[in-house]
Amino acid sequence: NPSGHADKEVMAATVLTSLSTSPLVLYPSSVPTASKTWKEVLSASYSSSTSGNWSWDASDQSVPSTPSPPLSKDANTGFLHSAQGDDASEDVSESTHFMFEDPIPRKRKNSMKVMFKCLWKNCEKVLSTSSGIQRHIRTVHLRNSDSDYSDGEEDFYYSEIEVNMDSLTEGLSSLTPTSPTTAGPPPIFPPPLSDVSRSEYVGVNGSQSHTSSLLSQSAPSTLCHIRTDHAYQISVSWQQPPPVIFKGAPGPVTHVRTVSIGEKRQPAVPSHATVSKNHALVTPATKSAPGTKPRGEAKKCRKVYGMEKRDMWCTACRWKKACQRFTD
DNA sequence: AGTGCCGGGAT
DNA sequence: ATCCCGGCACT
Ligand SMILES: [Zn+2]
């Protein structure tokens, strides 16, 4: 949209002129519209230079008490090639480059990005994070289809696919461990059974036995920085997916797994380890499912200050993120 | 209808 | 990194 800048500048100029020639100062008095963002609305209003810092704001960017382990900073851009053997990947080494000047460390030509695709029937949802499709599946497909997950397990069916991003940020970006700030002890888990490293994949193609240790976090090596599913994880079991199964020549790592739900809020995980049988779906049916989060009770900045005093919200609230000023 | 915020995009 | 928004769960 090339005309955007011009419009904004024109508008800004207009505002400035009006301000300089007119004594009246207007308040935001209106929420941003399709053509007006908050930045403009606020900038057009009184320059709130005084209301920028609140004493509590110091907590906004507080660091969690738990420092992250010194994980290897070397971001080896995805080089995992398809095990089909049809691709002659180039040099994988070269990780040791001179510390001296090295303009443009030779970015990989075709940067692959792993995406996650839903495997449910007729569903082609593709998200960039595993938590993303998990949420998708949970809300879209596991919509409380009377399936009893009282045993504390949910079944997700999705596959990893590599997408060739022609022009996109390189390196493993988008690794957001979803707020490690929770101070309380992690949810109670049953002791880890046997071993199960938590993430597995079925080689749909016969010749895909070993591949790289793409996900298995059991190997704390460098590349497995991928998607550390933090707190939750546990039993992994196989089942025949209710949704559609591998059709013709399915993509790469399709993995199906059962992960226990133990994060966020959850009513309670009482007892009754009943057999979890797959069942109907999408049925509008009843409301709240077992996998629901009862949302905190505390009022957050938005409700406390209101839309008209948005500049008083904490940063997180302004960005529609989890409030860090009023916690639960 | 309104709130809280995850996922993702723009800059 | 900072800032913002679509959309959805939940109220
Ligand atoms: Zn807040």
| Domains along the sequence of chain A with CATH | 112-143+152-171 (3.30.160), 298-327 (no CATH)
Distance (Å) from CA A324 to ligand 1 centroid? 5
The strand ranges marked E within A244-284 are: 254-260
Q: Is the dihedral of CA A22, A312, A301, A261 positive or negative?
A: positive
Instruction: Examine the predicted complex and report whether its ipTM is higher than 0.95.
Output: yes
| Distance in angstroms (rounded) separating the CA atoms of residues A291 and A267 | 8
Task: State the nearest residue by CA to the C1' of B6.
Answer: A321
- Residues of chain A with pLDDT below 50 are 1-30, 33-36, 42-109, 146-152, 167-288
Distance (Å) from CA A66 to ligand 1 centroid? 22
CA of A301: how far to CAs of A3, A50, A78, A326, A328, in Å? Answer: 35, 19, 40, 7, 13
Q: Calculate the angstrom distance between C1' of B6 and CA of A176.
A: 11
Give the global pTM. Answer: 0.36
Q: Calculate the angstrom distance between C1' of C9 and CA of A45.
A: 34
Cβ of A31: how many Cβ atoms within 10 Å? Answer: 11
pLDDT value, residue A306: 92
pLDDT value, residue A165: 55
pLDDT value, residue A274: 28
Q: Calculate the angstrom distance between C1' of C1 and CA of A169.
A: 14
Distance (Å) from CA A302 to ligand 1 centroid? 7
Strand order of the β-sheet with A126-127 is A126-127, A111-118, A153-165, A254-260
Q: Calculate the angstrom distance between C1' of B10 and CA of A5.
A: 14
Task: State the nearest residue by CA to the C1' of C2.
Answer: A319
